[in-house]
């Protein structure tokens, strides 16, 4: 998967002059780096990612975590960092990267 300069893995496409290119749909209207592919992706070895909602108690109707947390219990989802994790974001200045496990649902 392609990493973007905003820190997220590419999670969408945009059309520029009839050519589809990777982009970050999370940051596209907020950060110009959402349109720039990182030519030197980060080394994710030895890094961990925590769910963005780590420590919260999921109460959503459509709780669909594939990483082990259960509705009514605190989200404790932690995974080895990978650009294949949903909504992955590399946070080089933090101890942990971020992703979304689905604990609050996908809708």
- For the stretch 19-73, pLDDT in tens is 898 888 888 878 777 777 777 778 889 999 999 999 998 876 666 678 877 778 8
Residue from 18, 21, 20, 2 nearest 90 by CA:
2
Contact 97, 90 (CB under 8 A): yes
18 and 47 housed in the same domain: no
CB neighbour class for 101 (10 Å; exposed up to 12, middle 13-18, buried from 19): buried
pTM comes to 0.75
For residue 63, the model assigns a pLDDT of 66
Domain holding 21, by residue range, is 1-41
CB atoms within 10 A of CB 97: 23
Instruction: Quote the pLDDT of residue 96.
Output: 97
Please give the structure tokens belonging to residue 79: 């995974």
Q: What one-character DSSP code corresponds to residue 68?
A: S
> Are residues 8 and 48 both part of a single domain?
no
Going from the C-alpha of 1 to that of each of 7, 97, 103, 104, the distances in angstroms are: 13, 16, 23, 25
Per residue, what are the HEC states of 78-93? EEECCCCCCCCECCCC
Asked if 22 and 57 sit in the same domain, the reply is no
82 and 99 assigned to the same domain? yes
- Overall number of domains in the chain: 2
29 shares a domain with 55? no
Residue 67 token pair = 């990483």
pLDDT band at 4 (very low <50, low <70, confident <90, very high): confident
């Amino acid at each position: 998967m392609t990493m973007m300069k905003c820190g997220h893995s590419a999670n969408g496409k945009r059309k520029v002059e009839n050519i589809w290119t990777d982009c970050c749909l999370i940051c596209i209207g907020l950060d110009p780096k959402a349109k720039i592919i990182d030519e030197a992706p980060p080394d994710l070895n030895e890094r961990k990612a925590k769910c963005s909602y780590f420590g919260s108690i999921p109460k959503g109707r459509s709780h669909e975590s594939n990483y082990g947390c259960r509705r009514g219990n605190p989200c404790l989802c932690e995974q080895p960092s990978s650009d294949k994790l949903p909504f992955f974001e590399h946070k080089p200045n933090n101890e942990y990267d971020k992703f979304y496990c689905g604990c609050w649902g996908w809708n």
